[in-house]
Structure formats: C-alpha cells, structure tokens
Amino acid sequence: MNDQELFDRMSESLYTAVISDTLDELGYRNQVMRENINPIDPSWVVAGRAKTILSVDVHYIPENPYEQEIAAVDSVKPNEVVIGCTNESLQNGLWGELLSTASKMRGARGAIVDGLIRDTKKILELGFPVFATGTKPVDSQGRGLVIQYDVPVKCGGVLVNPGDVIFGDRDGIVVIPATIADEVAGRALDKATRENHTRDELLQGRTLRQVYDKYGVL
C-alpha cells in the first residue's frame, strides 16, 4: 500500500501502546518521545513521514528572520508530519495558525513541536493535529530562528531522521525508523487484532490467564 493508505490505516486501527510494544519486541526500546508533548485536542491521532525542522534560541533580530522557516514549510510534502525541534525552548511559540494552515494545504498530516506553540483556538478550528509542550503567545522573531530543515533532529529525547514514520495520539508519540516501518506496521496491526479478541473474551467472562495463553498479548 502507498503512504496515504498506510497512514490512514494506522490512524484508524493503531495506537501508540501497541506500536511501542512492537518496537520493544524488535529491540528498539527508546522510540517514545517525552511525556510532556501532547495534542492540544486529545482526540487527535497523527501518522506520517517526519519532516524535520531545527530551531535555536536567539537574542537579537537577524536579517530575514523567517527565511528558513518559510522555505521549510513551503517544502512540506503530502503525508508528512512536521517535527519542530526547538531544543525544548521556552522563549517563544515556534508554531501557530499560519504555519499550520500552510502545512495543511501542502498535504501535511500534523505537527509535533518539542516546545511551545500559539494560536491554539485557530488551530483547533482548522482541525490540524498539533502536539506541543505548552503555549506562549510571543512571536519567534528575535527569540527563535529556524536554521535547518530535512536534517536529523532530537525531538522529545528521540533521534528523528527525515522520512521516519511518526505516530502520535493522546498517550504519546512514537518514532518508527524508516527502515523497519512496514514490518512494524504489519506486526502492530496483527497485535492490535489479537488485543481486540482478548478484550472481547475478557468481557465474556474468561480469565486473563485463559486469554493470554490463547492470544499471547497483555
């Protein structure tokens, strides 16, 4: 299946816990971002390819302060998830309504920021899934500067390479290395099916031991 079909299916059928469990089974045990990065709407689920953006704190207003930021957003491709790495900055709201709107119209599926955002009311109205550590209404000009994009970044404590698969929901955000994305998705979908059967049989009164011995999931 193509990326859009894959990410649609993941969004409909998977959740972070089952993906994290699958990565554990494959020996990838440090793929979940820090717990303080959350969706501004808890119902949002996001899945897509990582589009990385790197921002740093500054303490002056540079010439053309938005140059790289504009270039980064204008280069977003369909089915990407913007990964905004601010190195956990508390200085400014890197992401807001206009970047969300531009990214959505470029085909992005969401944005994850390891820092602060603004314009949350407008982002909620737009329906564009954004995850962040919190909010701050100040502009990035003279406070934060996008210096690169499409480079490896560390976001939420996890190294993210461009093209890695990102999955996020109200429980957290998982980074799936691109080289194993198809295998992880397949295994996770199988595990989710077995978990569904386990839940159904528990609701019918069977014991946890009975269903664990049958389906092997917990």
Can you say which residues are annotated as belonging to the binding site for substrate?
Answer: 96-99, 118
Which amino acid does the sequence have at 204? Q
Which amino acid does the sequence have at 146? V
Token code pair at residue 17: 């816990």
Residues annotated as binding site? 96-99, 118-119
Q: How many Å apart are CA 149 and CA 200, to the nearest integer?
A: 45
Token code pair at residue 178: 């691109």
Residues annotated as binding site for Mg(2+)? 119
Residue with tokens 């909620």: 124
Q: How many Å apart are CA 21 and CA 157, to the nearest integer?
A: 18
How far, in Å, are 6, 24, 66, 206, 215 from residue 70 at the CA level? 29, 37, 6, 57, 49
